Amino acid sequence: MNLLTTPDLSHGLLELFNPPGLYDPSANGYSHVAVVRLPARVIHVAGQGGEDAQGRLSPSFEEQVGQALDNLQTALRSAHASLADVARLRILVVGHDEDRLGIIAHQVRRRWPNRAAPTCTLIPVPRLALDGMLFEIEAEAYAA
């Protein structure tokens, strides 16, 4: 049985797991199912790109992914939440391929090292909002 649960995320509000009968997606940096126990504060974080605080965007895909995840953490902290509270990610990628998937999965595993990663949908796109923007990530989080 491939049941990966996460201990004590956001005071027991969030459980992430991979049910029997579905492949184990943890190598790709996500889980199949998120269960949120209500009541909880619901936090929606708009798409975060790889821009730094001054609006500069690196041409490197890997640097954009890392910066976007840093930006996501900053946004969550502003709402008194953390990555541990995230139930769902939506990722948009320009020029998606297996190499880029590997970069994303590595960065996600770094941010969620000892627990199951959130559920996630990755959507390849032809373009994002800004010239040179290659990666964008949205999140839904639930906190006490």
132: domain CATH number is 3.30.1330.40
> Which stretch of 52-61, 65-74, 109-118 has the lowest confidence by average pLDDT?
109-118
Angle between helices 61-78 and 98-111 (to 10 degrees): 30
pLDDT at 1 over 50: no
Residue 6 counted as domain residue: no
pLDDT tens-digit series, residues 38-49: 999 999 999 999
| pTM for this prediction | 0.87
Do the beta carbons of residue 94 and residue 134 sit within 8 Å?
A: yes
Per-residue pLDDT at 6 exceeds 60: no
Q: How many CB atoms lie within 10 A of CB 127?
A: 10
Q: Is residue 66 part of a domain?
A: yes
| Residues spanned by the domain of 100 | 14-143
pLDDT band at 68 (very low <50, low <70, confident <90, very high): very high
Q: Is 91 helix (H, G, I), strand (E, B) or coil?
A: strand
User: Is residue 76 assigned to a domain?
Assistant: yes
* 105 is a domain residue: yes
Strand-by-strand arrangement of the 41-48 sheet: 41-48, 135-143, 86-94, 119-125
- The reply to whether 51 falls in a domain is yes
Structural element, H or E, at residue 17: strand 14-17
- How far apart, in whole angstroms, are the C-alpha atoms of residue 17 and residue 106? 19
Q: How many domains, in total, are found in the chain?
A: 1
At residue 9, the pLDDT reads 40
CB-based contact 138:45 (threshold 8 Å): yes
Residue 2 lies in a domain: no
- Any domain includes 4: no
Mean pLDDT of 123-139: 98
